Structure 1
Amino acid sequence: MTKKKKIKISELPNFDIVDYLKTDKDIAQYLTVVLEDGDPALFVAAIGDIARAKGMSEISKKSGVTRESLYRALKVEARPRFETVTKVIHALGMKLSVHA
């Protein structure tokens, strides 16, 4: 019988979803899954992940929101204004739609 070695969290590889958001299809699938969860905080954080994947400086320029403000507004515990979220979504080249 072999003894199992306990793995410490610090020994696990770092995971960053940004590394997997390579194509528009990847981004759309990620955002769709997050939206299905229904948690507004996760939605905002996912927009932040996508902005980081596309380049926060570029998104800042396109949206008219400073980089620092974007980092603050697009984290899980943040509660950004809807106006900020829509500016970022448009800067990302995406749009929101509602289907019946």
Structure 2
Amino acid sequence: MTVETTSPWDAADYLNTKADIIAYLEAALEDGDPSLIIAALGDISRSKGMTYIARETGLGRESLYKALSNSGNPEFATVLKVINALGLRFQVTSLAQ
């Protein structure tokens, strides 16, 4: 009998390029689930380094971990600060094509 070992999968380990990050966040935004979007921002922030994001946003590292967790509920101002620290911006387009 063989025993298979597994390790936890972490999206942050695979967000290596700006293109990866944009595609990941766009997929979360297309889904439309606010908790998924916040979790994706958390994954992206961890991929960049939460200490770096904390420094760039002026927010505490621990509070960012909490706000950007699966159960987090950050203020919109926090989301915008994180987006800016990641070098990204939101762009609005019409749903009607």
When the two structures are superposed, what TM-score results if normalisation uses the length of structure 2?
Answer: 0.90
Shift of 1:13: 3.0
State yes or no: 1:19 paired with 2:43. no
Q: Match of 1:90, as an amino acid?
A: N
State yes or no: 1:64 paired with 2:66. no
Partner of 1:32: 26
Partner of 1:42: 36
Partner SS for 2:71 = coil
Partner SS for 1:78 = coil
Give the fraction of aligned pairs with identical amino acids, expressed as a percent. Answer: 48
C-alpha distance in structure 2 between counterparts of 1:76 and 1:19, whole Å: 17
Q: Match of 2:24, as an amino acid?
A: Y
C-alpha distance in structure 2 between counterparts of 1:56 and 1:12, whole Å: 26
Stretches of structure 1 that go unaligned for 5 or more consecutive residues are none
> Among 68, 73, 85, which residue is 1:74 paired with?
68
Bigger radius of gyration among the two: 1
C-alpha distance in structure 1 between counterparts of 2:8 and 2:67, whole Å: 23
C-alpha distance in structure 1 between counterparts of 2:28 and 2:35, whole Å: 10
The CA RMSD measured in Å over matched residues stands at 1.6
> Among 67, 79, 87, which residue is 2:81 paired with?
87
